[in-house]
Every structure is written in structure tokens, then in C-alpha cells.
């Protein structure tokens, strides 16, 4: 992904994650939310009461692996045998597994039923496959440079109508962007920016919001790096 390109095309999906030579086409811009001067803050203490509440909510909510909407059309996707699947380890919360991206030094948790597949050319992240064609979930990293560090995101307000602060499990503050059929989470940690992008049907998003937020909350560096 080129360092200055943060305008996302939400109507024409590409078949690969951010690559060095990818051009990001943009949806018709009516107005832009420009967020600049975003300062990464790290909390000194964890919040066990919040984690406990989140864990209880996850454990008492059923994952919507299947949905009755257009069931015939939503067959399980066929994956290219040459695509690389993430290496997983069990997560602390039952029913989840942890995936790792060594190239951009981040890990994240996802439900055991879902799969993280690398279809990129530079190993910057994964598609998260839920088994449904109408879900487009991507998580990817990129290096923060002087050119992009002051402008976190520029998004079409007809797609994302809400932008709010999002606190990750390690205390770092990032952003959550929401729209009728879209979610996006952005985290800056050290020299790396990690983005989680979701496009799906509104009903599916509503049914799986707790799991999508858990994936986002769990994003963290694999190893400590110098700032």
C-alpha cells in the first residue's frame, strides 16, 4: 500500500491485500472526515473488570456461522490451495485461536471456525474467511512513515457515518469507524499501523459485532520493538 493512500474503495473489492504497487480507487467522495495528529497513548494498567465482562459476553453469544439470508447463494468459499494459512495457537478464551503476522509484528485472535488466509504478495496480512461469500474481512499492517503519520484516515462519510475512539486490550487508543455495512479498526503501535476492515450484511454485522470487536481488541505486537 502506498504511504499516502488512505482513501478506501468500498464498492470495488480487490482480490488481494495491500501490496506495494496497489492503486486504491475511491468511492465517490461527498465529504471527508480527516483525523490528524493522532497520538498513541498506552495505558499503564490493564482493566480486568472490562476483560471479564467482555469474556462473559463472548461466551454467552453464539457465533453466526450460518444465516438464513440467501442461504443458497452463500455457499462456502473455495480457497486457492497455494494460499498460505496462518499458524495458530490456542487463545486464552475458549473457542478462539491466535494468528500471527511476523512481517508486520502483530497477532490477533479469531473464532476457531474462521480462517486467516494470506493472499497478499508481500505478507502484510490476512483475509479472514467466515465461510460466507458476503463477508469481506481483512487485517493488515503497514509501516508508519513521516508522510502518513499525521493523517490517520480519510473516509467517505456516506460509508462510515460514525468515528469514535477505540481502546485495545493493551491500552493503546485507536479508532473505530462504523457504517451500515462496514466496520474498520485502526491501531498505531510503535512504527506499525494495523487495520481491521469488515464489509458484510447489516444483519450479520449485528449478530457478530461482539466477535469482530474481540478480534480488534486482541490486536497486539508479537515482540517489543524500539520506537
Look at residue 223 in the predicted model and tell me its pLDDT.
80
Comparison of pLDDT for 83 and 190, the residue scoring more: 190
d(CA 224, CA 110) in angstroms, rounded, equals 22
The predicted structure's pLDDT at residue 158: 78
Q: Is 174 a member of any domain?
A: yes
Answer whether residue 130 is part of any domain.
Answer: yes
Q: Which residues lie below 8 Å from residue 45, measured CB to CB, with a gap of 6+?
A: 171
What's the structural domain count of the chain? 1
Q: Which domain holds residue 181?
A: 32-61+84-218
In a domain, 1, yes or no: no
Helix (H) or strand (E) holding 129: strand 125-129
Better pLDDT: 201 or 11: 201
Which cell numbers in the block locate residue 77? 468459499
Query: Domain with 48 in it: what CATH number?
Result: 3.40.1000
Is 40 domain-assigned? yes
Kindly report, residue by residue over 51-83, the tens digit of the pLDDT.
555 555 555 454 544 433 433 334 444 455 567
* pTM for this prediction: 0.68
Question: Is 48 part of any domain?
Answer: yes
Average pLDDT value for residue range 16-42: 36
Query: 71 or 198, which is more confident?
Result: 198
DSSP β-bridge partners for residue 127: 117, 138
Question: Rounded to an integer, what is the distance from CA 211 to the centroid of its chain?
Answer: 11
Q: Is residue 41 part of a domain?
A: yes
At residue 18, does pLDDT exceed 80?
A: no
pLDDT > 70: percent of the chain: 59
The reply to whether 17 falls in a domain is no
- Let me know if residue 10 belongs to a domain: no
- 66 or 105, greater pLDDT: 105
Alpha carbon distance 36, 152 (integer Å):
6
Please check the confidence at residue 175 and state whether its pLDDT lies above 90: yes
Amino acid at each position: 500500500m502506498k504511504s499516502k493512500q488512505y482513501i478506501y474503495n468500498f464498492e470495488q473489492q480487490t482480490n488481494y491485500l495491500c501490496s506495494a504497487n496497489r492503486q486504491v480507487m475511491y468511492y465517490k467522495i461527498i465529504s471527508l472526515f480527516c483525523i490528524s495528529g493522532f497520538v498513541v497513548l498506552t495505558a499503564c494498567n490493564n482493566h480486568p473488570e472490562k476483560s471479564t465482562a467482555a469474556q462473559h459476553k463472548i461466551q454467552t453469544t453464539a457465533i453466526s456461522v450460518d444465516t438464513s439470508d440467501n442461504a443458497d447463494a452463500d455457499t462456502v468459499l473455495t480457497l486457492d490451495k497455494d494460499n498460505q494459512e496462518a499458524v495458530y495457537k490456542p487463545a486464552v478464551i475458549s473457542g478462539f485461536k491466535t494468528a500471527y503476522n511476523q512481517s508486520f509484528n502483530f497477532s490477533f485472535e479469531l473464532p476457531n471456525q474462521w480462517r486467516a488466509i494470506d493472499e497478499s504478495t508481500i505478507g502484510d496480512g490476512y483475509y479472514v474467511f467466515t465461510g460466507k461469500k458476503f463477508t469481506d474481512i481483512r487485517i493488515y499492517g503497514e509501516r508508519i512513515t513521516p508522510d502518513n503519520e499525521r493523517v490517520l484516515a480519510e473516509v467517505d462519510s456516506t460509508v462510515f457515518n460514525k468515528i469514535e475512539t477505540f481502546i485495545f486490550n493493551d491500552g493503546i487508543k485507536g479508532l473505530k469507524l462504523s457504517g451500515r455495512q462496514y466496520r474498520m479498526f485502526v491501531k498505531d503501535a510503535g512504527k506499525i499501523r494495523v487495520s481491521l476492515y469488515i464489509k458484510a450484511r447489516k444483519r450479520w454485522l449485528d449478530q457478530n459485532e461482539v466477535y469482530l470487536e474481540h478480534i480488534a481488541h486482541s490486536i497486539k505486537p508479537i515482540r517489543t520493538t524500539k520506537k
